[in-house]
Homo-oligomer: A and B are copies of this chain.
Amino acid sequence: MFDVIAIGNAIVDVMAPASEADIERLGLAKGGMTLVDSARAQGLYDAMGPAREISGGSAANTLAGLAALGARCAFIGQVADDQLGEVFAHDIRAGGIAFSTPARGQEPPTARCLIFVTPDGQRTMNTFLGASQHLPAAALDPSAIAAASVLYLEGYLWDPEEPRQAMRRAIEAARTAGRQVAFTLSDGFVIARHGDDFRALIDAGQIDILFANEHELAALTGCNDFADGLAQLAPKVATLVVTRSEHGAHAVSGGEHVQVAAEPVAKVVDTTGAGDLFAAGFLFGHVRGRPLAECLRLGAICAAEIISHYGARPEADLQALIAAQLG
């Protein structure tokens, strides 16, 4: 029924421009994602400039891209019964994505990610997970998972316990039905905490499509050399996709190794969602049975769109963009 069903954090991004001096003064880990508690989130919000709110969440961003490209998608994630939860639910449904996880009370509130965007376009994320980390396994619809071509999982959500259990069950449901499981490693801190889980899943052949950036590849494999890391990991998954920011991306699948240059961008405004939208483009090509090189190209085009403006949800007509770029 669905091309892609995803489980991820249900987050609203709170985004504001910031200077390099702000990043330093506030003690932020530039370019990274840091989990923050309620008090730290409040302190950072107080220190933040005038902001705008745009729905986010890694896997949800990927689905927004996939749906905009024309894929049939469903999202599973936990919001609270509050205004930010309504915003998240509205935006995902308005994007044509099925979303029926019920809101769970008012405390903790819906997750938000405070994103400081420096003049170089780099984003520094501080996430208060709130309701998102309480996604129960009961929120899954195993029959919908069994019917979707691809189950897409966000590494970020492996950290809290309830969603981790939910994701393990989802993997089981998908694999029992002979469906593909795609996984994104998300961030170095997740690998530091759960690398053993990920390596075990990969070694057990539970992951069909693995998304990583070059730092995550190094963290997971322990190889500082890119080619070595790729060579070590590629044989263990059907498809491995590794992004390298402005240096493009690589994919290895069925013995084929292809790479793509980054799509040129007039001005990098905000890199939030670059990896998420790369995954969207790639997966769209994948579920449509396109050649590996074209999947990479689709990823690069979508990533270029998302970094040309604020926010991790596409603004341009992705279908028109793809048609124009691929001819």
Chain A residues in the interface with B (C-beta under 8 A): 16-17, 45-46, 48-55, 64, 82-84, 87, 90-92, 94-95, 109, 311, 313, 315
Contacts and interface: CB of A to CB of B under 8 A. Distances in A.
Contact of A53 (B53, B82, B109, B315): B53
A51 B91 CA distance: 6
Contact of A49 (B82, B94, B311): B94
A66 to B, nearest CB: 14
A98 to B, nearest CB: 15
Nearest to A90: B45
Contact of A50 (B46, B83, B95): B95
13 contacts: A45-B90, A48-B90, A48-B94, A50-B55, A50-B95, A51-B91, A52-B52, A52-B53, A53-B87, A82-B83, A83-B83, A83-B84, A83-B109
A46, A50, A64, A83: most-surrounded residue (chain B CB, <10 A) = A50
A82 B106 CA distance: 11
Nearest to A80: B83
A267 to B, nearest CB: 13
A10 to B, nearest CB: 14
A48 B92 CA distance: 11
A64 B49 CA distance: 12
Contact of A64 (B50, B52, B55, B311): B50
A196 to B, nearest CB: 37
Given A82-B83, A83-B82, A94 B51 contact: yes
B52 A54 contact: yes
A313 B50 contact: yes
A79 to B, nearest CB: 12
A267 B225 CA distance: 46
Contacts of A87: 51, 53
B82 A50 contact: no
Given A50-B55, A50-B90, A52-B54, 17 more contacts: A16-B94, A46-B90, A48-B90, A49-B94, A50-B64, A50-B95, A50-B313, A51-B87, A51-B90, A51-B91, A51-B94, A52-B53, A52-B311, A53-B53, A53-B54, A53-B87, A83-B83
Contacts of A94: 16, 48-51
Nearest to A93: B46
Contacts of A55: 50
A64 B52 CA distance: 14
